[in-house]
Each structure stands twice: as structure tokens, then as C-alpha cells.
Chain A
Amino acid sequence: MSIWTTFHKWGSPRWFYQFSGRLLPWLGGLSLLLLIGGAVWGLALVPPDYKQGNSFRIIYVHVPASAVAMGAYMTMAIAGAIHLIWRMKLAAMVMKAIAPIGASLTFLALLTGAVWGKPTWGTWWVWDARITSVLILFFLYLGVIALHQAFENREAAAKACAVLVIVGAVNIPIIYWSVEWWYSLHQPASIRFIGESSIHPSMLRPLMATMAGMYLFFAWAMLLFTRNEILDRERNTRWVQDIVCGDDKNAESNSVL
């Protein structure tokens, strides 16, 4: 199969709806398992940090929320670019679906960061590079949501959002390297892809679990929101009507039984 056939297939809302339907139970089950397992592990099983004490356990929710909030933005930017370049309708739906999820995760990152800061740094908030750039990320997400609602015309909304999202993507490397570029109260990354991580393996393992769990949760939620968008926009097509009204018939026959 050529790359263009694959591309066209992925661009078809109907194919995407059917394919994603098969992924949903796996993504949902695995993400909840990893998140709950990792949380129990991080809360009760690992020993406390020798400097921070037990407040370090917040790492198992704060770091996954922050990392996935940034990953979600990059996914949204790629979807925006695909929509602008190839006019793929599905990419615009994905972009719209990600915004509320990303905003929620960024809100979590900011809130858990503030609550972690109080016992560790002695303050809820500082206007330093890392924290301020994450706040900007939160406003970018809210901006995308507001921009979608501001337009009557769907095409115009998607185009404007794609431009905003792509321009805003410059913020992502700023967030990532802010702790290295500027003097910051926020600690540098504990996990490194190159070189040795500064976190003990016993503390790292539950973090890997909640991190993977959060990525899978994001994928799950993104598919759910995109599928809703597909149902809404394609409501005049026969296949969508069959899915919704077919469910009704099944429900009726079930209730009779």
C-alpha cells in the first residue's frame, strides 16, 4: 500500500471512526490500569526523597500531566499543519478535540506544581521562566477553544486555529529548555534521554507507569472527542445515521429481552 493510500484512508472520517472504535477498550483499560497501579506504587510503596520527604510523591501526577500537556500541544500543531497543507477535514477535528483535553492537563500541571511548590520552595507561585511559559501554554489552549467558538464558519475557524496553534508551538521548546536557559526555581529535568537520569530507579519505575498511563489516557480521550466531532459533522451521512439509529434498535431489542 502506498503512503498516499494510507494517508487518504486516515483522512476518511468513516474509516477513522471504525478503526478507533477497536482501539478504545484497549486504550481505556490499559491507561486506567497503569494510572491506578502507578499511583498506588508512588503513594505507598516507594520510600520518600531524602531531601523533600513525602511531598516528592506529587511527581507521579505532576510530571505526567505536564509532559502530556506539551505532547498534546505538539499533536495539535501537527494536526493543524496537516489541515492547512492538505486540507484534511479529519485533522481539523483532531485539532479541535485536543484543545479541551490539553487545557485540562495544563491546568493540572499548574495546580499540582503550585501545591508541590508550597512545602518544597515555600511559595505557591513564582514568575519564573518555566512556570510562566506553562501558563502561556494554558492560555494558548484557551485561545484555541475560544477561537473555535468565535467563528460561525467551520472552515474559517479551523484555519484560524491552525495558524494560532502553529505559531504558538514556539512556546514548547521554550518550556522544555527554560530550566536550562534561565535561572529558575524549578529543578532541571530528572529524566534524560541522553546521559544518566538523576532519579533513582526505584522512584523512576512508578513514574514510567503513570507517564505511560497518562499518554494512553490522552490518546483515549482524544479518540473519544474526535469521534464525537465526526458524528456531529457527518450527521447527514447514512453511515452515521445507521450507527446512531442502529444502536436504538439494538437497545429496543435488548429492553424487550
Chain B
Amino acid sequence: MYFDSIGELFAMDGHGPYVWFCYGITALVLCVILFEARRRRLGAEQRVRGVVRRKQASANKVKGKG
């Protein structure tokens, strides 16, 4: 490690807050992208299930009539 202690690594001679903020916000935004992908996946799956349910319901209705 370049720094002598963990304290120095966090302080970075006064530049610590700028540097750590940038790394933190990058990690956060990348996580948000992945969460959004997951959220959309679950939404899409739900809509597919809706189509399948409606299809089964109408098939059952036809069977009931027959």
C-alpha cells in the first residue's frame, strides 16, 4: 500500500472526501443500474404470467361450455 496507515488512506492529504465520494457514487450508480434491471425483469415476468393466466382461463371456459 502507498499509504502508511488506514487513517492516511481515508484522509489522502485532504483530498479524501473528493476521492471517496467519487468512488462511492460510482458504486452506487452501478448498483442502481443492476437493481433497475432486476426490477424490470420481475415486471416483465409478471406480465408474461398474466398472459398465460388469461390464456388458461379462456381455455377452461371453452372446456366448461363443451
Chain A residues with a Cβ under 8 A of chain B: 35, 39, 43-48, 53-55, 57-58, 61-62, 65, 100-101, 104-105, 107-108, 111-112, 115-116, 118-119, 217, 221, 224-225, 227-229, 231-232, 235-236, 240-241, 244-245, 247-248
Contact = CB atoms under 8 A, between A and B. Distances in A.
Contact of B48 (A48, A224, A225, A240): A240
Interface in B1-27: 1-3, 9, 12-16, 18-19, 21-23, 25-26
Nearest to B16: A54
Nearest to A107: B29
Interface residues of B, number: 33
Contacts of B40: 225, 228
Pairs A-B, 6 closest by C-beta atoms: A54-B12, A224-B37, A54-B15, A231-B44, A244-B48, A228-B40
Interface of B: 1-3, 9, 12-16, 18-19, 21-23, 25-26, 29-30, 32-34, 36-37, 40-41, 43-45, 47-49, 51-52
Contacts of A101: 33
Contacts of B45: 231, 244, 247
